[in-house]
Amino acid sequence: MQRVLIAFFLGLFSFFVLMVAFMFAGQTVGPVLGDIAVIIVIFIVMAAYFFICQFFASRGNPDALRKDWPVMLALDAGATGVAFITALVEKREVFLTQGLGFLLVCFAGTFAGAFVASREARRRGRRDLNSRPRV
C-alpha cells in the first residue's frame, strides 16, 4: 500500500515535471526547431520520468510486470486525468495528437520501467544462485 501511495504522488509530481519541460523546451528548442520538436522533447522527458519512477518502485521484484499493476496504475493516474481533461476541453485533433500521445508515452515509460526492473531482478537472482558455493 505504501508503494502505491508513493507512486500516486510521483504521478501527481509529473505535472511539475511536465510544466518545467514545457518551459524549457518552449524557450530553447521551440524557437530553433518548431512546435513538433517541442512536443517530441516533452514526450521524451515524460517517458524518461515515468520509466525512472516505475523502475525504482519495482526494483527487486522479478514479477513486476504481473504483480505491480496497482503501482503502475497509481503512477499513471495523473496522466490519465490529464488525457481525460484534454479530451473534454480541447478539440479532437489536439486530443489525438497531444492528449492521447501523452497518455501512451506515460504508459509506455511505466511499462518499460517495470520490464527493466523485472529483468534486472531476475538477472541478479541468477547471479546470486550461480555465485553460491556448491556442496
DSSP 6-59: HHHHHHHHHHHHHHHHHHHIIIIIHHHH-HHHHHHHHHHHHHHHHHHHHHHHHT
Number of structural domains in the chain: 1
User: Is it the case that residue 117 has pLDDT exceeding 90?
Assistant: yes
Sign of CA dihedral 1, 122, 52, 65: negative
For residue 133, what pLDDT is reported?
64
For residue 51, what pLDDT is reported?
94
Gyration radius from the chain CA atoms: 18
Which residue type occupies 53?
C
For residue 48, what pLDDT is reported?
92
- C-alpha–C-alpha distance, residues 82 and 129, integer Å: 44
pTM, to two decimals: 0.81
User: Is it the case that residue 131 has pLDDT exceeding 90?
Assistant: no
pLDDT digits (tens, 9 = 90+) for 65-92: 888 889 999 999 988 888 888 889 989 8
Q: Are 62 and 122 in contact (CB under 8 A)?
A: yes
